[in-house]
């Protein structure tokens, strides 16, 4: 986002446009639907009232801390587990009773590799392709393409037991993609993958999306949110936000975060309280470089903000629209919206 300098502050900041999100009536084809999804293990509610819609031809990232329920959600969506309460439909059917034909329409990459250790990488892929009915004609070319994607072509003749854990994970991704499914569940697909290869994977995921495929990606890499069309943020078994990536920051901060750099460091507690009580301002707090002010999106007038702060005696150097990292956004979302009760 652009910054304003001392002579040219921005006026009347326009709120970002909201793209169609899951559940939006403008979306006609919905691949996944859940209503009131609950999963209980003993006295623990691993999923607590999940309502989610995933539109066709989109990438939905599912982000949250370890143990928040991401993998449990995927197991429910794939039909591996029946929910304790609520409903799940995939392609309009209950995935727990899906036919083999329906199951061939989606691919699932689990967190832990499920490969044959005594077979070569190439043989593993060929066997899995045969299970999904990939015809012999063209199969070799497809296998080669998948091995190239995960950079395992030089290791294609090695037994899986000879591959490192990271290589096995990459081979698992190739096995998930080999039958070209319409719907992909990729549980932590880039865990342990170097940044260059990670970007290559995401480039391929976006290409699949552009072909009309639907992809659900649970991940702990918060910065991968920018590559998704919609991000579902989970905490303690609940969905606390389902938004396009560009809407996460305003949701996390409660408005538009703005940094005012001050030439003079002094700005008293009383001044902060008075500033926070000003119309159109949600909050005001100290910052290493000056002040962090959160403005109402509908009235984000930076000229008026600067005037208000200078009217309190501060010497403002410039006003900058803050660009928080996704890590910062994620932490604030958890602090602001996550349920606090134990076991929630």
Domain boundary among 191, 224, 249: 249
44 domain-assigned: yes
**Any bridge partners for residue 93, and if so which?**
90
188 and 158 part of one domain: yes
Same domain flag for 155 and 281 = no
Report yes or no on 5 lying in a domain.
no
- Residue 272's pLDDT is 87
pLDDT of residue 265: 59
Give every CB contact of residue 187 below 8 A, 6+ residues apart in sequence: 70, 71, 74, 108, 109, 110, 111, 218
**Does 147 lie in the same domain as 50?**
yes
Which of 249, 275, 309 is the C-terminal boundary of a domain? 249
Instruction: Identify the pLDDT of residue 341.
Output: 52
User: Is 226 found in the same domain as 113?
Assistant: yes
Counting as low any pLDDT under 50, the low residues of the chain are 1-27, 342-344
Which domain range does residue 323 map to?
252-337
For residues 233 and 273, state if they share a domain. no
- Dig out the tokens for 201 from the structure: 């994977």
> Which domain-ending residue is among 198, 221, 249?
249
**Which pLDDT score, from 0 to 100, does residue 289 have?**
80
Query: How many other C-beta atoms lie within 10 A of the C-beta of residue 162?
Result: 13
What is residue 98's predicted lDDT score, i.e. its pLDDT? 85
pLDDT tens-digit map of 241-300 = 999 999 999 999 989 999 999 887 567 788 888 888 888 888 898 888 888 999 987 777
Q: How far apart are CA 62 and CA 73, in angstroms?
A: 9
292 domain residue, yes or no: yes
- Could you tell me the two tokens for 328? 């910062």
Asked if residue 245 lies in contact with residue 257, where contact means CB atoms within 8 angstroms, the answer is no
Give a yes or no: residue 14 inside a domain: no
**182 and 86 within one domain:** yes
What pTM was computed for the model?
Answer: 0.81
* 315 in any annotated domain: yes
- The CATH number of the domain holding residue 259 is 3.30.70.100
User: Are 148 and 177 found together in one domain?
Assistant: yes
Number of structural domains, the chain? 2
- d(CA 144, CA 104) in angstroms, rounded, equals 21
3-class DSSP assignment, residue 118: coil
214 and 69 within one domain: yes
Judge whether 74 and 83 are in contact, CB under 8 Å. no
Q: Say which CATH number the domain at 190 has.
A: 3.40.50.300
Do 279 and 265 belong to one domain?
Answer: yes
pLDDT for the residue 15: 32
Claim to verify: residue 141 and residue 257 sit in the same structural domain = no
The pLDDT assigned to 9 comes to: 39
Distance CA 209, CA 59 (A): 7
Instruction: Tell me how far apart the alpha carbons of residues 255 and 204 are, in angstroms, rounded to a whole number.
Output: 34
Residue 7, pLDDT score: 39
Among residues 93, 103, 96, the alpha carbon closest in space to that of 31 is found at: 93
Helix (H, G, I), strand (E, B) or coil at 169: helix
Please give the radius of gyration of the chain, using alpha carbons only, rounded to the nearest integer.
24
For residue 322, being part of any structural domain is answered with: yes
Tell me whether residue 23 is in a domain.
no
Answer yes or no: do 138 and 283 share one domain.
no
Which token pair is 122? 């190439």
One domain, residues 59 and 136: yes
Q: Is position 40 within any domain?
A: yes
Name 80's Cβ contacts closer than 8 Å, sequence gap at least 6: none
């Amino acid at each position: 986002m652009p910054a304003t300098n001392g002579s040219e502050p921005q006026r009347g900041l326009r709120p970002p446009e909201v793209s169609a999100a899951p559940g939006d009536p403008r979306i006609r084809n919905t691949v996944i639907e859940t209503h009131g999804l609950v999963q209980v293990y003993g006295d623990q509610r691993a999923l607590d009232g999940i309502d989610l819609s995933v539109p066709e031809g989109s990438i939905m990232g599912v982000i949250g801390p370890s143990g928040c329920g991401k993998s449990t959600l995927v197991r429910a969506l794939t039909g591996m587990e029946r929910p304790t309460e609520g409903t799940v439909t995939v392609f309009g059917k209950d995935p727990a009773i899906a036919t083999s034909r329906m199951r061939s329409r989606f691919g699932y990459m689990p967190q832990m590799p499920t490969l044959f250790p005594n077979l070569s990488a190439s043989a593993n892929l060929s066997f899995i392709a045969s299970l999904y009915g990939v015809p012999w004609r063209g199969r070799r070319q497809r296998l080669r393409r998948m091995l190239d994607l995960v950079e395992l072509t030089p290791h294609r003749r090695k037994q899986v037991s000879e591959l490192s854990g990271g290589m096995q994970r990459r081979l698992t991704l190739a096995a998930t993609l080999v039958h070209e499914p319409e719907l992909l569940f990729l549980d932590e697909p880039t865990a342990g993958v170097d940044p260059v290869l990670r970007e290559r994977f995401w480039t391929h995921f976006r290409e699949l999306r552009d072909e009309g495929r639907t992809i659900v990606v649970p991940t702990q890499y918060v910065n991968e949110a920018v590559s998704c069309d919609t991000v579902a943020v989970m905490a303690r078994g609940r969905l606390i936000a389902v938004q396009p990536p560009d809407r996460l920051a305003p949701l996390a901060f409660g408005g538009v975060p703005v940094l005012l750099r001050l030439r003079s460091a002094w700005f008293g507690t009383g001044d902060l309280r008075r500033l926070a009580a000003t119309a159109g301002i949600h909050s005001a707090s100290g910052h290493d470089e000056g002040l962090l002010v959160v403005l109402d999106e509908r009235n984000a007038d930076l000229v008026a903000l600067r005037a208000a702060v200078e009217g309190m005696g501060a010497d403002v150097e410039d006003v900058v629209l803050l660009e928080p990292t996704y890590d910062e956004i994620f932490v604030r979302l958890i602090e602001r919206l996550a349920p606090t009760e134990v076991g929630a």
